[in-house]
Amino acid sequence: MEIPYTVKPRPDTGLANPKLGIWLFLASEVMLFGGLFSAYIFLRVGADFEWPFHDLIVWPGLTNTFVLIASSVTVVMAWVSLKMKKYGRYKMYMSITILCAMIFMGLKSYEYAGKFKHYGVTLKDGSILEGHLGHHAQGDKIVFGEVKALTFSLTNRSADLRVLDFRAEKNPAFDPHSTAEGNHLYHPVHGGPPVKVRTPEGDEVELTASWLKAQHKAYAEAKEASYKFVRDKMDAGEKDVKLPEIQVKNKQGLLVKAEPSITVEIVGEPLLLLVDERDLLSYDKNTLTFREETKAGGRLVTDAIEFIPDCIDLRRAENMEQSLAWKYLGEDMRQKFFTSREASIKDLTERKPWLFKHEKIDPADRGKSHGDEDVKRYSDRYNDEDDHDWAHSVEHDKVINIDRADKRFFANFTPRYNNFYAIYFVMTGLHGLHVIGGALVLAWFLFTGRKMYETNPEQLENRIEVGGLFWHFVDLVWIFLFPLYYLM
Amino acid sequence: MSSAAHADHSDHSHDHGHDDHHHELSFWRKYVFSTDHKVIGAQYGFFGLVFLAIGFILMLAMRWSIAHPGEIMPVWIRTLLGMFGPGFMEHWAPDGVMAGELYNMFGAMHGTIMVFFGVVPLGVAAFGNFVMPLQVGAVDMAFPRLNMWSFWLFLVSGILMFGSFFVPEGAAQSGWTNYSPLASTVGAHSPNQWVHGQTIWLIAMVFNISASLLGAVNFITTVMNLRAKGMTWMRIPFFSWAMMVIAFLLLLAFPPLEVAALLQLSDRVFGSSFYLPTGLYVNGAHMDVSGGGSPLLYQHLFWFLAHPEVYVLILPGIAICAEIIPANTRRPLWGYKSMVGGVLVLGFLSFIVWAHHMYMTGMGQSISTFFQFTTVMISVPSVILLTCLMISLWGGSIRFTVPMLWAVAFIPMFGFGGLTGLPLAFNMIDLYLHDTYYVIGHFHYVVAPGTIFAMFGGIYHWFPKMTGKQLNPILGHLHFWPSLICMNLIFFPMMIQGMAGFHRRWYNGGSAFPNTTGEYLWMNGLMSNAAFIMAAAQLPFVINFFYTIFLGKKIKDDNPWHATTLEWATPTPPPHGNFIIEPIANRGPYEYAALGTTEDYLPQWAPLTDHERANGAVDLPVKPPAAPSHAH
Amino acid sequence: MADHASPSTAAHSDAHGHDDHDWNAHIKTYMKVGAILFGGTVLTVAAAFLPIFDLHHRAGNLTLGLLIATVKCTFVALIFMHLKNEKKLIYKFLLFTVIFFGVMLFLILSAQHDPIPLDPTHNMVHHTITHP
């Protein structure tokens, strides 16, 4: 039996099934993006930080707006061409639409990539330094060397050999005078050689997942045995049964107390680890504790954040004059900052600040405006050829090493940085997924439509119309996203 | 869908529809990746029942912990929990005693599974898929392939959700509502956020929501566009009306939950702070996040769905009863039009009451008053619906068949659940009762002896149509009466305990606070034992279900209840394509005891009576029946 | 503009041929709308940098920008998405969608702006109890 109204509209509702379906789907999409817009407004109105303003570069967003509008026009033109029985023109317009989608996504990924590389450090007093990671030595990683002992938890089920993935070594080809990408003092070892360890019982074994699994299993069995003892007694009606000590057999076959963790000594070269702070539960001078409770004993080489700042933001600093920023940037920079600040405050009273943002900053300084009078941007070049001194630099265009003790929060400009970027990524990301999905469907219609055009042109027209409706909706969402994120 | 199915019906339709038709489809396409709404309905129904059973078992273990805190679980509960496999209990309750974490995990998953994987799939997806297209006289759903996708997305979400028990840190533990910041930060130290139960909960929900959205689009299009000839809006059976309203609720209320889930997912795996306020301390340590978010945002987005969801849970119950009751009182549904109006108003109002779940959050007086007002207002359409069902009983010649028993029990049980909700609508009283067992008692009265009773009624009512076999009434009675008694023994004491201040999330049932709870602690044992007996009371149903499917006798009649709606006009079980005659609706859906006929019922598809013609009814143009072609 | 979706014109357009002129009119409309959208985008950018209403909170720019976006959106919905010629049924449920969206937005915001004030005496009472 045929399902009615798949192509022709039903007389009393005036709609064919696909069109009714897509409009219902769009209604739910309105609520989806509606929920996100509500969240955006809620977060913005309730934000306890300065909501970023003109932080995103306008031109890619603007270009993308034009691209999407153009694609909206071409998709409707493709439909009209079909209605006019001009298949060639339909193909052309549809191809342009899909091309537009690709341009859109290309620009989007360009924008995203920039944000992943851009970092911000909020210091203890609220001063913010923005910039890039130095790529001389460790970037934002913690370097921990001379690891001679590892302790694995036997109770934590997620304990595995992840610690070995953080192994690194000193790069013999490191050139302190070069600023080339990938020129690091330490570089991670991917899939390094197996590690030999000495167990508490004195055996030398290779550190493998199966070895660790066996330790886990032995402990779990020992634990289960003692619990079974309790269960059996209680099932038999005894009350207040005490849990006996958990015991395992040692090498000599004697029962000994089972430890909830196992510590092994590394045989041979000690390890060097390059670790992200977020992979750790805690660390001190001699111990790293990973999230899965694995501990590494050794010596902390450095935990400073190697940073090339290109912007100072003192809006939220407790005291601008004594900002922690000056500890790293030096007196010269401090004076430059305040000279410029006075000038811009004076300018603000005399001129239209909305139009003045870009000019306010010294033309010699490159980079985009930050849109706030307290923000001063200076050269983001890394041009000091001689510098490989990671001590606190007083020169503005040098790499500085920020003490982790001075850091309140540190992130790149991903959802983690603040809620502006978080909702930006979620909304534009979801919108991007819609673009991809829509483009795939339209491409499917484009490449497989010929046969349907010959057998049932009206159905193809309907399909293009329905696909087009979705595409227009995607465009429509962007029409709101663009001003909300790039302009307002 | 070729016309082969069409030709097939002509000779022998009544016995085994499934075997005779569309032999061209392989087993996989016919029963697994089927696009037929009836098979999809049955699939939803089966998995809905499985998930209900799982949720029920979790609850049994929790009830043990409440009544016997710190005591070793009896062997039969440990056996039931054996469904998790040997390693699970060894890890989470090695001594056989339920720990707080396991209780929290079971609590969160009981709620989630029951609501999103049990009641909604069974009540909406299974009954809606099976009955609604038949009732409106459609050959299938409007988008059969989309329908299949919807089911498979649901199944993926169900597997993910159940699978989350087995990841190292176990399933979600933050309650079925998963409020932030708890749900955003729990397990923040696990090495991989993606394999944490709390994250998997969110991913599974995104799948579940997508499945619901596809289903909702399908339901609405089917009701609007695939109605049979003569099936005007006011001739659509109430069940199908309710399904359409439910579909609208799902369509428009689920997306904000998807937003809530996506934002929480981002908080968990990308480190954003949508729901994390500035200066958040967790476990005595400062959270390393940017802050600046708001936990209230989550609650708003969550409850924007979850309140309409309450009506998604309860409307199938009312709708099923609205079909069972007229068929068994032999009397038209009283106030059909007001019920349709009521369900529409209910649907609308359900969108503007959500914040009555949030009186405790520190909203001010004016906004609380607004929500208090709308909440009290929404009881009006609910009462209209229930009253119409009740008055429908009046003066009827009631046949107490098994489905009717469930339907009749539904009315007072749901009524009790609804009335106990009224105090909670009031801001001031809610401040005291919030998060106590009173709330648990209230909403369980609505969904457990309410919706689930109605759904059991629905199963007994439509089982003959689905399988061609009648469930055994004696086993049905054995199922119904103990269930009714136990339900009340479980949930009524909760009201008393709740007013005494028992908090809803105590894994030890309040025994840690003997000074305040001591007087009412004995009720824990009563309720738990009632729950255990109720578990036993489900056995007759399970036996009945499988016995009838495999060994039951075929029924002769396509319309065993002598009902009037179009699903009974099909062969039994309905073949692919559903109808042999062209389905038409000559009159309203509940023409029992009508004038001008010798029977006590006048089906929608029956030809016009002389009486109706005399009143100006005109025959609908019907295609001549397809010529029986035996050549295929 | 012909309603291609309605039964009468759908039947009509089956016999194309004389329709071509009609479609050319459509194309003109679409091009005009495209131009309006492009122009609107430029205006939006301009509006973002205009010193209007309120310098600090940028409320004026925000309102203006969103207003332009709404106008653009209306054109897309009415013309590109043919809503102008669509059946009442679609309007009905879109209307409810818009209502629910508005409800979600404004009730959530108003809940946020109506917090229970902190009672300064509360802490004092508490204090005297804990330190008798």
**pLDDT tens, position by position, A268-313:** 889 999 998 888 888 999 999 998 889 999 999 888 888 888 777 7
**Residue B566 located in a structural domain:** no
State the DSSP code for B580.
Answer: S
Residues B271 and B413 in one domain: no
Number of structural domains (chain A) is 3
State the nearest Cα–Cα gap between B65 and chain A, in angstroms: 16
Which one, of A390, A362, A386, lies nearest residue A376 by Cα? A362
CB–CB contact C80 A69 (8 Å): no
Mean of pLDDT values over C75-90? 90
CB–CB contact C30 A73 (8 Å): yes
Q: Are B456 and B523 in contact (CB under 8 A)?
A: no
- For B300, which of C96, C111, C114 is closest by C-beta distance? C111
**Residue A12 located in a structural domain:** no
> Is A113 in CB contact (< 8 Å) with chain C?
no
Residues A209 and A298 in one domain: yes
Residues B430 and B512 in one domain: yes
Q: Nearest residue on chain A to B287, judged by CA atoms?
A: A409
Weakest-pLDDT range from A161-165, B229-233, B271-275, B382-386: A161-165
Query: What is the pLDDT at residue A236?
Result: 85
List of chains touching C (3+ CB pairs within 8 A):
A, B
The secondary structure element, H or E, covering residue A132 is: strand A128-133
Q: At what angle do helices B144-163 and B197-225 cross, to 10 degrees?
A: 160
**Which residues touch B136 (CB under 8 Å, ≥6 apart)?**
B222, B223, B226, B227, B228, B231, B236, B237, B240, B566
**More confident of the two residues A401 and C68:** C68
CB-hemisphere CA count at 13 Å for C61?
A: 23
CATH number of domain containing A430: 1.20.120.80
- For C5, which of A19, A27, A46 is closest by C-beta distance? A19
State the nearest Cα–Cα gap between C118 and chain A, in angstroms: 18
Query: What is the pLDDT at residue A374?
Result: 32
Task: Find the distance separating the first CA and the last CA of chain A, reported in whole Å.
Answer: 55
**Residue A244 located in a structural domain:** yes
pLDDT bucket at A395, cuts 50 / 70 / 90: very low
Residues B361 and B463 in one domain: yes
Give the domain range for residue A427: 22-109+417-487
> Is C39 in CB contact (< 8 Å) with chain A?
no
Q: Give SS3 for A203.
A: coil
> Is C15 in CB contact (< 8 Å) with chain B?
no
> Is A97 in CB contact (< 8 Å) with chain C?
no
Q: What are the residue ranges of helices labelled H in A276-324?
A: none
Residues A220 and A208 in one domain: yes
- The pair of structure tokens assigned to B560 is 């065993």
- Average pLDDT of chain B to the nearest whole number: 91
Residues A272 and A314 in one domain: no
Which of residues A375, A410, A445 is at a domain's end?
A410
Mutation target vs C (from B363, B373, B428; most C CBs, 10 A cutoff): B363
With tokens 């790529």, the residue in question is A135
Residues B265 and B394 in one domain: no
Q: Nearest residue on chain C to B220, judged by CA atoms?
A: C93
Q: Which residues of A touch B225 (CB under 8 A)?
A: 4-5, 10, 13, 15-17, 20
Residue A120 bridge partners (DSSP): A130, A411
> Is C109 in CB contact (< 8 Å) with chain B?
no
Compute the distance between CA of residue B413 and CA of residue A130 in angstroms, rounded to an integer: 62
**Residue A8 located in a structural domain:** no
Whole-number CA gyration radius for chain B: 25
Weakest-pLDDT range from A67-76, B395-404, C15-24: C15-24
State the nearest Cα–Cα gap between B548 and chain A, in angstroms: 30
CB–CB contact C115 B304 (8 Å): no
DSSP E strand stretches across B196-295: 281-282, 285-286
Q: What torsion, rounded to 10 degrees, do the Cα atoms B34, B36, B42, B46 define?
A: 20
Please name the residues between 276 and 295 in chain B that touch chain A, using a CB distance below 8 Å. 278, 288-294
List of chains touching B (3+ CB pairs within 8 A):
A, C
pLDDT bucket at A51, cuts 50 / 70 / 90: confident
> Is A77 in CB contact (< 8 Å) with chain C?
yes
Instruction: Give CA A301 to chain center in angstroms.
Output: 27
Residues A156 and A288 in one domain: yes
State the DSSP code for B31.
Answer: I
Residues B262 and B372 in one domain: no
pLDDT in tens, B277-311: 998 988 888 888 998 999 999 999 999 999 999 99
> Is B225 in CB contact (< 8 Å) with chain A?
yes
Q: Nearest residue on chain C to A355, judged by CA atoms?
A: C49
Please state, in angstroms and as integers, the Cα–Cα distance from residue C10 to each residue in A7, A10, A23, A461, A462, following that order.
10, 11, 19, 11, 11
Residues B228 and B352 in one domain: no
- The pair of structure tokens assigned to A77 is 């033109």
pLDDT in tens, B9-37: 433 434 444 444 445 678 888 888 999 99
**Residue B210 located in a structural domain:** yes
Residues B365 and B235 in one domain: no
Query: What is the pLDDT at residue B594?
Result: 85
- For A419, which of B168, B254, B292 is closest by C-beta distance? B292
Compute the distance between CA of residue B14 and CA of residue A314 in angstroms, rounded to an integer: 82
CB–CB contact B365 C116 (8 Å): yes
Q: Are A376 and A341 in contact (CB under 8 A)?
A: yes
- For C41, which of A9, A31, A66 is closest by C-beta distance? A66
Residues B430 and B523 in one domain: yes
User: Residue B401: what residue type?
Assistant: T
Query: What is the pLDDT at residue A367?
Result: 35
Which of residues A385, A410, A435 is at a domain's end?
A410
pLDDT in tens, B558-610: 999 999 999 999 999 999 889 988 899 999 999 998 888 888 899 999 999 99
Q: Which residues of C touch B365 (CB under 8 A)?
A: 114, 116
- The pair of structure tokens assigned to A399 is 């790499």
Q: Is the pLDDT of residue C10 over 60?
A: no
Please state, in angstroms and as integers, the Cα–Cα distance from residue B55 to each residue in A4, B111, B198, following that order.
40, 8, 18
Residues B371 and B232 in one domain: no
**Residue B511 located in a structural domain:** yes
Residues A73 and A103 in one domain: yes
CB-hemisphere CA count at 13 Å for A108?
A: 23
Compute the distance between CA of residue B548 and CA of residue A399 in angstroms, rounded to an integer: 79
Which of residues A281, A303, A325 is at a domain's end?
A303
- The torsion angles phi and psi of A275, rounded to 5 degrees, stand at -125, 145
Residues A292 and A182 in one domain: yes
Q: Is the pLDDT of residue B89 over 70?
A: yes
Mutation target vs A (from B217, B251, B363; most A CBs, 10 A cutoff): B217
Q: Nearest residue on chain C to B308, judged by CA atoms?
A: C100
**Residue B416 located in a structural domain:** yes
Which of residues B272, B293, B314 is at a domain's end?
B293
The secondary structure element, H or E, covering residue A149 is: strand A142-153
CB–CB contact B365 C108 (8 Å): no
Compute the distance between CA of residue C121 and CA of residue C124 in angstroms, rounded to an integer: 5
CB–CB contact A480 C81 (8 Å): no
Q: Are B365 and B371 in contact (CB under 8 A)?
A: no
CATH number of domain containing B246: 1.20.210.10
**Residue A430 located in a structural domain:** yes
What is the ipTM metric for this complex? 0.93
Q: Are A16 and C5 in contact (CB under 8 A)?
A: yes
Compute the distance between CA of residue B99 and CA of residue B90 in angstroms, rounded to an integer: 12
User: Residue A191: what residue type?
Assistant: G
Q: Are B139 and A1 in contact (CB under 8 A)?
A: yes
Residues A244 and A146 in one domain: yes
Compute the distance between CA of residue A166 and CA of residue A142 in angstroms, rounded to an integer: 10
Q: Nearest residue on chain B to C89, judged by CA atoms?
A: B224
> Is B133 in CB contact (< 8 Å) with chain A?
no
State the nearest Cα–Cα gap between A410 and chain C, in angstroms: 28
Query: What is the pLDDT at residue C51?
Result: 67
Compute the distance between CA of residue B442 and CA of residue B448 in angstroms, rounded to an integer: 10
Q: Which residues of A touch C47 (CB under 8 A)?
A: 487
> Is A58 in CB contact (< 8 Å) with chain C?
yes
Mutation target vs A (from C80, C95, C99; most A CBs, 10 A cutoff): C80
Residues A198 and A92 in one domain: no
Model-level pTM? 0.89
- For C114, which of B294, B304, B364 is closest by C-beta distance? B364
Mutation target vs B (from A17, A33, A294, A430; most B CBs, 10 A cutoff): A17
- For B252, which of C97, C110, C117 is closest by C-beta distance? C97
Q: What torsion, rounded to 10 degrees, do the Cα atoms B220, B226, B232, B233 define?
A: 0
- The pair of structure tokens assigned to B220 is 């609405």
- The torsion angles phi and psi of A435, rounded to 5 degrees, stand at -60, -45
Residues B101 and B207 in one domain: yes
Burial A377-399 (b: 16+ CB within 10 A, else e): bbebebeeeebeebeebeebbbb
Which one, of B305, B540, B138, B628, lies nearest residue A31 by Cα? B305
State the nearest Cα–Cα gap between B363 and chain C, in angstroms: 5
Compute the distance between CA of residue A131 and CA of residue A133 in angstroms, rounded to an integer: 7
> Is A473 in CB contact (< 8 Å) with chain C?
yes
Pairs of residues, one from chain B and one from chain C, whose beta carbons lie less than 8 Å apart: 43
**More confident of the two residues B46 and A354:** B46
**Residue B314 located in a structural domain:** no
Number of structural domains (chain B) is 2
State the DSSP code for C80.
Answer: I
Q: Nearest 5°: CA angle at C78, between C72 and C82?
A: 135
Which one, of A337, A327, A333, lies nearest residue A403 by Cα? A327
Q: Which residues of B touch C116 (CB under 8 A)?
A: 362-365
**Residue A465 located in a structural domain:** yes
Q: Are B196 and B167 in contact (CB under 8 A)?
A: yes
State the DSSP code for B190.
Answer: S
**Residue A15 located in a structural domain:** no
Weakest-pLDDT range from A206-210, A260-264, B29-33, C70-74: B29-33
Give the domain range for residue B44: 35-280+289-293
Mean of pLDDT values over B513-528? 91
Please name the residues between 350 and 389 in chain A that touch chain C, using a CB distance below 8 Å. 352-355
Residues A162 and A267 in one domain: yes
- For B367, which of C96, C103, C111 is closest by C-beta distance? C111
State the nearest Cα–Cα gap between A349 and chain C, in angstroms: 12
Q: Which residues of A touch C100 (CB under 8 A)?
A: 31, 34
Q: Nearest residue on chain C to A77, judged by CA atoms?
A: C27
**Residue A382 located in a structural domain:** yes
**Residue B229 located in a structural domain:** yes
State the nearest Cα–Cα gap between B382 and chain A, in angstroms: 25
> Is C7 in CB contact (< 8 Å) with chain B?
no
**Residue A224 located in a structural domain:** yes
pLDDT in tens, A188-229: 888 888 899 999 888 899 999 899 989 988 888 888 888 888
**Residue B403 located in a structural domain:** yes
Q: Are B593 and B330 in contact (CB under 8 A)?
A: yes
